[in-house]
Structure 1
Amino acid sequence: MTTTTVTTGVTGAVGAAHTRVEGLAKVTGAARYAGEIPFAELAHGWLALSTIARGRIRSVEVDPVLAMPGVLAVLHHGNAPRVDTDYVGLLGRPDPTLAVFQQDRVPYAGWPVALIVAETSEQAREAAEALVVTYDQEPHDVAFSAGRPGTYTPENSAAEKGDIEAELAASAVVVDAEYTTPEEHHGMLEPHAATARWEGGRLDVVDSNQGTMWVAAELANLFSLDPASVRVRSEHVGGGFGSKGLRVHQVCAVMAATVLHRPVRVVLTRRQMFSLTGYRSPTAQRIRLGADADGRLRAFDHQAQNLTSTVHEFIEASANVGRVMYDANAHHSVNRVVPLDVPTPTFMRAPGEAPGSFAMECALDELAEKCGIDPIALRARSEPDVGPLSGLPFSSRNLLACFEEGARRFGWADRDPRPGVRRDGRWLVGTGTAAAAFPVGSMPSTAAVTAEADGTFTVRINAADIGTGARTALTLIAADALEVEPRRIRTRIADSDFGPAMIAGGSMGTRSWAWAVTAAAGTLREQLALGGDIPPDGITARSDTAEAVGALPKKERHSFGAQFAEAAVDVTTGEVRVRRMLGIFAAGRIVNPLTARSQLIGGMTWGLSMALHEEAVRDQASGAHVGADLAGYHFAAHADIPPIEADWVDDPDDEDPVGIKGVGEIGIVGVAAAIANAVWHATGVRHRDLPIRPDRVLLAGGGYSAAG
């Protein structure tokens, strides 16, 4: 046995820039992802998807496929193991389409109708493409538009105070405008992949997900298993952005492993991901703003609509973002949905806030124009002291500090407010700004910290690092909590056997996990202070933050930011080029400036892509996507991205043990609006529909004449 001590005085890991602890493994290929980990006797599953958008399966011609080389099984609605979706999981009732192969009903184009399992993925794919499925087809409806028939208002989706109509009538200046955003897809680098096997009476799943506890619990519910008999691991994840929860490929892998009694891997293709892993719903939004002549808001009305599937309700809560942003005598916001014959949408980076901020912040810019007031000054005049609807105090609110610092660094004071007057050769040049906000939360988590006999420490927490750098952040947090160098910390994550912990979502992951790690480290320090030898298996302290999280006082907790963009527009070709971007954020304590800045720049890059490129299009006749791949679905490439700066102001959250707020999603919020506002400033023409494509710029036609 060895005696070890915690050396005091070694602090400052949090707040200093550190490269990722797993960075070398990733860039050298040593880090293996879910679709790469070897298994003995591994079989491969390939999904066959429906070619109709609505109807029933009449027949699945299995025998010719079973005779093909290497084919082991064909699972479909006639022979697949039974599952149960009648339960309430971590995020509520599951999407019934997780009950794959349970009935002959086809709810949308690209729905799984069979899983072919073979010795190799090539054999499985060939067999899947040869499988003949016949259908009884029914008329489908995939057409989304504002206020179309079938739209309804879900429960608890509206919030209001005051009399909107009366305040609009009393306003000196009114903006009433409609905005749209298209269907968008996550497009992460690593496709969804899962391998399932039964070992020692336990279901073992190696997966790419945003929370192994979440996936393990859902699988246990679906297959009526004891939760203790399910283990899910997901050590390295190549991006998630909200889409990597429980999907049909994991269910299919478990089904096949159960039938064949050997490991089965199912990896989705990029094209399959367009129909099977969720997406951001298109939105149609109406904003009505009423203000006094000096720009102070009297009325704020935000009405948003999104689509959902016919089998499961998902709300893209675009109208929620304004509920904490601006004070007004009357406030009204509502989210409405319409069910169509499409896959169920899901969470996508800043769900609700990303499309909602586009409409809201463009409308604020239009109001500033009508009032003849600087856009930043206009926002400051409706800055709330407490939550505009809740009346709760803010834990901290440094939005104006973000605008002040951003305006200084961007050179906003030198801006000529008149649109269409600045030229650079064939380009019209303009600048725009927008505010950003994203809620801050904490969820209960457990952690264990072990003092090892060799003088190192092992942190075990069921966190998920989906590319954010969470593993490194937790290493730094543990190092400071134990007052040792980060090199003495080993952080193990993403194993459901480690116990319950928050998923990587809602910008709550690192905040929740850090709290648990800090608590466990504090308990361990107390144990070590008693002295004595460290046994070979170490000394372990555990934490559970459920009680502490529940005791937090109710406040409005949010990250805030100010986005700035400069755009150049060639009205002859319709080309829009963003020349520079700056984001200044108030996001609590920054654990690792290196990875935090990367997260913020990544979000801002996505916001540019949202503004100018991204748009998934459905063919009305077939109900399927047009160009369901990364060639047909356009997104920003390296050449589209200008110099981007991301920085932050001091924003302490003293009620949180580590002061973290979260930076995963705030970076995308407001970017599309800042760019759209810059395009207006360049040309004098408003674009209220995303993306701002060249053809839309050209169709504005004579609207640019005022710009010369």
Structure 2
Amino acid sequence: MDDLIPALQTPTAPAGTGRVRSGMPVSRVDGRAKVTGSARYAAEIHAPGLCHGVVVSGMIAKGRITHIDPSDALAVPGVIDVLTHRHRPPLAGDDEEYKDSTAPDGAPFRPLYNDRILYSGQPVALVLAETFEAARYAASLVTVDYEAEAHATDLLAGLNDAHDASETTNESKGDADAVFARAPVKVDAQYYNEVEHHNPMELFASTVVYGDDGHLTIYDKTQGSQNCHEYICGALQLPPERVTVRNPYVGGAFGSGLRPQYQLPLATMAALHLKRSVRVVLTRQQMFFFGHRPEVWQRVKLAANPDGQLQAIVHEARQETSSFEDYTEEVVNWSGQLYACENIRLGHKLVARDRPTPVDMRAPGATHGVHALEVAMDELSYALGMDPLALRLKNYAERNPLDGKPYSSKELRACYERGAERFGWSRRPPQPRSMQEGAELVGYGMASAIWEAFVKEAEARAVLHADGRLVVSSAASDIGTGTYTVMTMIAAEAMGLPMEQVTFQLGDSNLPKAPTEGGSSHVNSVGSAIFGACDHLKRELWEYAREQEKSAFAQASFEDVEFGDGQLRLRGGATVAIADLLRAKGKDHIEATYQLSPPKDKQEQYARLVHAAVFCEVRVNEALGIARVTRVVDAVAAGRIISAKTAASQVSGGVIWGISQALHEATYTDHDLGRFMNHNYAEYHVPVCADIHDIEVIFVDEEDRIVSAQLGTKGVGEIGILGVAAAVSNAIYHATGKRIRSTPITPDKLLLGDRDLPVPNAPGGA
């Protein structure tokens, strides 16, 4: 059967790429495979005797299953079986066996475990058939009876039921409340963000190939093959050597694939039950029953002197979580890291609702937290009669405000300067409603952006062949961010090879250990491990050169040599071909493995952050309540940029998502049913081409050897979305004089005004 299972797919760079340097605008090495269709995704893997599974989703928000009748489904020709909580392979009974590396505190959801219903849309059965069509039809015939219980899905109705968030710190400095009370200029406002849902183009799917020897090769839509491997072995009590998880191509994820989703254990259970290969693909509607950014209520209080110097910052949040897990995002902590202030109080609580556990969604926590802070800063600028950019520069932090740590690097001031100049911020009149073209009011807005620079443990292997080919591997993931390309560039530059001679392998749990791709950390982590593996190879080749008889390299230090064009050479002197060095040693290849272990003690002495400044132009037709974002300039300081083309693409894609957050995206709940209602592409609004206009990305020169000693990088995946929704909101206020503090800013709010928000009864007013 092995010859019927696709080998690990490893795209290589097209010929003619030439010598690689950081910052080059290199096209994606996996681009051809994707546009020609040769890239195979989780639902496109074929195996003999493949069985198809379709999930039956529950219809109540809370309660229990009293009866399931699969008889009509089983009568459909081609139907093999129907798995339920009463009829399935054994599952582990300990919560810890289900906890993957990204699981929050609590009891992870276990599909088909018992009769309990925890949220609407929960999987209650899996229909298995010879064809997808038979399984889909039969799934509609499964009858499920329930005993419903009272449910709670409304965050705003439960603000007083909040409990402390276990995974976030409610930090403070000074006496923010007392200073705020007596401050001469202050802002006190509430902000609200609706639920948003992941909508990647690739549906969540798992294809489990059941081998002749019982080995399971699982192709899964995931951001971490090894994370899913650990999870499935624990949940189904399988020996690790019996399972391989692969994800060579992922059609978008940005957090939705950090945790294993429920189709993975369902497909694996079915394969074990039938002893044959099984595929389970979720529908678009079913993808709305997991994978959402949590609903959040926030209150921000800012106090300042008349000259604009901040005196107090209070930022509090109430965030939705599920009834069975405490999922926590870092919503408020950014307000303690962005502006110089001596009095800061941060507070974050959770409200348990009968919904699926939220998941990370691009820049989790910061997307909402930065929005509230930056709109509040804009409000403060008007209260002071001060330019919004001047206010931010007045309070520019040279050290991290809460703990006094120095920044590992910080070029936010340069972001402000370059972004403002390119945008033409100096031409902005201060008064709202002062610019108009035709039927549209025109407004300018800006915001700061901030994200943490992560680096995690990672391992990479590099194999250099005598013919000059370099194969580098790590169990990394490419969720569409350009991992294939950037890792190929790092290896090619390190070894002085053209990109077409380098192959990077990822997406297989058997490869060297890599973290789950998330938090904009893959380049810092996996990229640094690749650099380290290549460095080991170079040092071995240097030793070979020194050992040669009458070698010109005999007295050369490693710093005296360089690599390029398949050669090792003394700087400005003798050269020797790498192929000749290997031949002289009787080797057809050499290899090295490098384990990256970040120096945590050193890193924790610094605040490690990515920064950006976003400038935005909007046009608003008040008669129709329609706002258009017509121009965005995003100036970013994200450390050393490896691939300028893919990095700019990441940031511009983030800007589009930020515009979507500001004007389009929201999932609405019928609280009587406890169910998400607009669970389709027709009613869940995202931008289309007509909604997106000019976007310009500027990368400010920066290098950070604290975050990444090997590369100087920081990461660009998250920073692109941050600050955009606030800049749009602030521009709308400048255009119209109407302050909208909730997202999305839909036509009804522009016509009728923003919604009123409750204030919870708690110390400090929040």
Of 330, 342, 347, 1:317 maps to: 330
Q: Is residue 2:280 matched to residue 1:266?
A: yes
Q: What is the aligned partner in structure 2 of residue 6 from structure 1?
A: none
**Which residue number in structure 2 is paired with residue 255 of structure 1?**
269
Show the counterpart of 1:577. 628
The alpha-carbon deviation at position 96 of structure 1 amounts to 3.7
Q: What's the % identity of the aligned pairs?
A: 39
**C-alpha deviation, 1:554, in angstroms:** 2.7
Letter in 2 for 1:532: L
Counterpart in the other structure of 2:177 = 165
Shift of the alpha carbon at 1:260?
A: 0.4
Cα offset, 1:537, TM superposition: 6.6
Which sits farther off after the overlay, 519-528 or 250-259?
519-528
SS of equivalent residue, structure 1 residue 498: coil
Corresponding position of 2:377: 364
Are the aligned partners of 2:342 and 2:401 in contact in 1 as well (CA < 8 Å)? no
- 2-structure distance, mates of 1:392, 1:640: 41
Aligned position for 2:663: 612
Query: How well do the aligned residues superpose, as a CA RMSD in angstroms?
Result: 1.6
- Equivalent residue, structure 1, for 2:350: 337
Q: Per the alignment, do residues 93 and 401 of structure 1 end up closer, same or farther by CA in structure 2, a change over 3 Å counting?
A: closer
Cα displacement string for residues 489-508 of structure 1 (whole angstroms, at most 9, x for unaligned residues): 01111111002112110111
Amino acid at match of 1:653: D
Task: Give a deviation string over 1:43-93, Cα, whole Å, max 9, x none.
Answer: 111000001111110111122222211111111110122323522542245
Code of the aligned partner of 2:633: L
Q: Is the 8 A contact 1:399 1:560 kept in 2?
A: yes
In structure 1, the partner of 2:252 is 239
1:43–1:118 contact (8 Å) kept in structure 2: yes
Shift of 1:455: 1.8
Contact 1:442 1:549 in 2 (8 A): no
Give the Cα separation in 2 of the matches to 1:651 and 1:682.
34
User: 1 CA distance for matches of 2:600 and 2:499?
Assistant: 27
Q: Which moved more, 1:101-110 or 1:387-396?
A: 387-396
Residue identity matched to 1:179: Y
Structure 1 counterpart of 2:58, one-letter code: S
Matches of 1:126 and 1:44 in 2, distance apart?
Answer: 12
Q: Give the equivalent residue in structure 2 for 1:184.
A: 196
Shift of 1:97: 4.9
Look up the match of 1:75: 83
**Contact 1:582–1:644 at 8 Å: present in 2 too?**
yes
Q: Report whether the alignment pairs 1:378 with 2:373.
A: no
CA displacement, residues 545-585 of structure 1 (integer Å, 9 cap, x when unaligned): 12656664531111100001101111111011111111000
Question: What CA deviation, in whole Å up to 9, does each residue of 1:396-435 have, x standing for no partner?
Answer: 1111110100110000111101101111111111100000
| Partner residue, 2:473 | 460
1:705 corresponds to: none
1:433-452 correspondence to structure 2 within 5 Å: 433-452=446-465
2:597 corresponds to = 546
Residue 256 of structure 1 aligns to which amino acid in structure 2?
A
Q: Secondary structure at the match of 2:671?
A: coil
Structure 1, unmatched stretches of 5+, are 1-9, 702-708
Specify the alignment match of 1:121 in structure 2: 132
1:92-241 aligned within 5 A: 92=103, 96-145=107-156, 148-155=159-166, 156-199=168-211, 200-241=213-254
The aligned residue for residue 6 of structure 2 is none
Equivalent residue for 2:717, pick from 664, 671, 681: 664
Give the corresponding residue for 1:26: 34
Native 8 Å contact 2:72 2:138 kept in 1: no
Whether 1:525 aligns to 2:538 is yes
The one-letter amino acid of 1:336's match is: K
For the residue of structure 1 that corresponds to 2:619, the secondary structure is: strand
Q: 1:321: how far off?
A: 1.7
- Aligned letter for 2:750? V
Cα offset, 1:210, TM superposition: 0.5
Aligned residue for 1:677, secondary structure, equals helix
- Measure the CA separation in 1 of the matches of 2:35 and 2:42: 16
Q: Distance in 2 between matches of 1:683 and 1:219?
A: 53
2:522 corresponds, among 509, 514, 517, to 509
Asked whether the equivalents of residues 182 and 615 of structure 1 are also in contact (C-alpha less than 8 Å), the reply is: yes
C-alpha separation in 2, matches of 1:566 and 1:696: 19
How far apart are residue 98 of structure 1 and its match?
3.4
Partner SS state of residue 64, structure 2:
strand
Work out the CA distance in 1 between the residues paired with 2:239 and 2:540: 34
Task: Report if the CA contact (8 A) 1:460-1:493 is conserved.
Answer: yes
| One-letter amino acid of the counterpart of residue 368, structure 1 | S
Amino acid in structure 1 at the alignment position of 2:124: V
Instruction: Name the amino acid aligned to 2:689.
Output: H
Would you say the 8 A contact 2:192–2:298 is kept in 1?
A: yes
- What's the counterpart of residue 3 of structure 1? none
Which amino acid counterpart does residue 186 of structure 1 have in structure 2? H
1:552-631 → structure 2 map (5 Å cutoff): 552=603, 554-631=605-682
Q: How does 1:341-360 map to 2 (within 5 A)?
A: 341-360=354-373
- The amino acid across from 1:680 in the alignment is Y
CA shift digits 1:122-154 (9 cap, x unpaired): 111111111111111112111111762321122
User: 2:571 — aligned with what?
Assistant: none
Deviation at residue 536 of structure 1 after TM alignment = 7.8
AA partner of residue 715 (structure 2): G
Once the 2 structures are TM-superposed, how far is the Cα of residue 603 of structure 1 from its aligned partner?
A: 0.2
Partner Cα distance (2:447, 2:479) in 1: 28
Q: Quick one: structure 1 residues 352 and 256, their matched pair in 2 at CA, closer, same or farther if it must change by over 3 Å?
A: same
The answer on whether the counterparts of 2:582 and 2:589 sit within 8 Å (CA) in structure 1 is: no
Residues 360-439 of structure 1 mapped to structure 2, 5 A cutoff? 360-439=373-452
CA contact (8 A) 2:208 2:218 kept: yes
Q: CA deviation at 1:94?
A: 7.2
Change (3 A) 1:149 1:80: farther
Structure 1 CA distance, aligned partners of 2:601 and 2:346? 28
Q: Deviations over 1:313-346 (max 9, x none)?
A: 1123211221210121211111111111111101
Q: 1:26 to 1:578 in 2, by over 3 A?
A: same
Once the 2 structures are TM-superposed, how far is the Cα of residue 528 of structure 1 from its aligned partner?
2.6
1:18 to partner: Cα distance: 0.6
Displacement, 1:542?
Answer: 0.4
Whole-angstrom CA distance in 1 between matches of 2:600 and 2:349: 32
> Could you tell me which amino acid in structure 2 is paired with residue 681 of structure 1?
H
Please list every run of 5 or more consecutive structure 2 residues that lacks an aligned counterpart in the other structure: 1-17, 545-580, 755-766
TM-superposition CA deviations, 1:231-282 (whole Å, max 9, x none)? 110001110010013011001011000000011111111100000x320011
d(CA) in 1 for partners of 2:598 and 2:396?
A: 34
Is contact 1:567–1:679 with CA below 8 Å preserved after alignment? yes
Q: Deviations over 1:284-316 (max 9, x none)?
A: 100000011111111001101111111111123
**Equivalent-residue separation in structure 2 for 1:505 and 1:108 (angstroms):** 26
Q: 2:665 aligns to what SS in structure 1?
A: coil
Q: 1:628 to 1:241 in 2, by over 3 A?
A: same
Structure 2 contact 419–698 (Cα < 8 Å) conserved: no
**1:661-700 alignment runs, 5 A limit:** 661-700=714-753
Would you say the 8 A contact 1:444–1:549 is kept in 2? Answer: no
Q: Which amino acid aligns with 1:239?
A: G
* Structure 1 residue 195, shift from structure 2 partner: 1.0
The one of 30, 41, 49 equivalent to 1:41 is 49
Q: Deviations over 1:342-385 (max 9, x none)?
A: 11101000000111111100000000111111111111121122
Q: Tell me which amino acid in the other structure corresponds to 1:86.
A: D
Query: Which letter maps to 2:75?
Result: A
TM-superposition CA deviations, 1:432-466 (whole Å, max 9, x none): 00000000010010000001243200011111000
Q: SS of the counterpart of 2:156?
A: coil
Q: Distance in 1 between matches of 2:324 and 2:433?
A: 48
Query: Residue in 1 aligned with 2:572?
Result: none
Equivalent position SS for 1:224 = coil
